[in-house]
Amino acid sequence: MFRLSLEFDPFKVKVITVLSVIFFIAGVAVLAAYNSAVDYTNSLSFCANTCHEMSIPYGEYQQSKHYHNSFGVRVTCPDCHVPHDKWTNTLFAKILALHDLSDHLFGHMSGVVDTKEQFEKDRLEMAKKVWARMKEDDSRECRNCHAIDALTSSDQKQGVRGIHLESIATHETCIDCHKGLTHKPVHTLAGGPATAFIDIQ
Ligand code: HEC
Ligand code: HEC
Ligand code: HEC
């Protein structure tokens, strides 16, 4: 039977102390490495330059209000594309992104060329995934910056206020209307009209 020994054994105490210190240092090192990896992969230059096909959405984004606006606020790729609420969601998104990276590398090795044509061919499918995720999480990343109660406050233009008030009643989320905001209006490929703010499912 297990019996708790209250005897003081200096050797055991030493071993436990040394192990605790080693585990503590290893834990800090893993955490630091994880944080550095998240910071690095969340940087605008990583997103824009690591895979050269990302130069296409990057170029489009540079034309958008999220890149340059009169307030000088720069919204970056991960602000919209990486979850920010909980570290577990960030970790999960990073693990999924490893899958993109392996597709990219193995695609190269098996001779699939990541040309502009290939990107355009895959674009609608990629966009659908982003729409589905934003629909599912109620456009959470948009709401990190834009508050619906601010969009419906009396200092908004009447039209803008009215539309957003109504969207609360109809349970529509940002991405239902604001497709093609930062990138080429890819929703037109799915048969939608050429203007943004259109809901196509
Ligand atoms: C990190 C903060 C941030 C995030 C995240 C963000 N925005 Fe913005 N958004 C801004 C800023 C800043 C502006 C520029 C304001 C201006 O110049 O009028 C802006 C402008 C806009 C505009 C008006 C300009 C335009 O391009 O038509 C819309 C619409 C908009 N955002 C919707 C969204 C939606 C939808 C999302 C989520 C997919 C989103 N935003 C994510 C900060 C953010
Ligand atoms: C039912 C459709 C709909 C939904 C849902 C919706 N919007 Fe809009 N939004 C619009 C329309 C239409 C405009 C006006 C566009 C214009 O005037 O050019 C607009 C304008 C805006 C603007 C620009 C305001 C300005 O003064 O220029 C921002 C920012 C914005 N929406 C963000 C959001 C965010 C964030 C969400 C989610 C919380 C959201 N919208 C949900 C349709 C919608
Ligand atoms: C303001 C939010 C926002 C920012 C900033 C943003 N994106 Fe997107 N991105 C979206 C949305 C929303 C979609 C879904 C398609 C659509 O509606 O345009 C999307 C779609 C995509 C797609 C799928 C292909 C396509 O055109 O739909 C890629 C790839 C992509 N983004 C990469 C990037 C990269 C790289 C950056 C930074 C250089 C970036 N995005 C910045 C919101 C954003």
Residue 199 has pLDDT above 50, yes or no: no
Tell how far the Cα of 66 is from the centroid of ligand 1, in angstroms: 6
Measured distance CA(178)–CA(176) in Å, rounded: 6
Question: Nearest-CA neighbor of 76 among 47, 55, 54?
Answer: 47
Between 175 and 101, name the one with better pLDDT.
175
- State the pLDDT at residue 105: 57
Report DSSP letters for 40-86, one per residue: HHTSHHHHHHSSGGGHHHHHHHTTSTTTS-TT-----HHHHHS--S-
Measured distance CA(38)–CA(78) in Å, rounded: 10
Residue 196 has pLDDT above 50, yes or no: no
Tokens 């210190």 -> residue: 21
CB atoms within 10 A of CB 74: 11
- Least distant ligand from the CA of 53: 3
Tell how far the Cα of 46 is from the centroid of ligand 3, in angstroms: 15
Measured distance CA(15)–CA(9) in Å, rounded: 10
Q: What is the pLDDT of residues 19-31, one digit of tens each?
A: 999 999 999 998 8
CB of 151 closer than 6 angstroms to any ligand 2 atom:
yes
Collapsing DSSP states into helix, strand and coil, what is residue 5?
coil
Q: What is the pLDDT of residues 108-152, one digit of tens each?
A: 555 555 688 888 888 888 899 999 999 999 999 999 999 999 999
Among 53, 175, 182, residue to substitute to test ligand 3 (most atoms within 8 Å of Cβ): 182
Dihedral sign (CA 191, 103, 53, 42):
positive
Residue 195 has pLDDT above 70, yes or no: no
Ligand 1, residue 142: give the atom nearest the CA: 37
Average pLDDT for 60-83: 92
Range 48-52 contact pairs with CB under 8 angstroms and sequence separation of 24 or more: 48/77, 51/104, 51/114, 52/114
Measured distance CA(44)–CA(76) in Å, rounded: 6
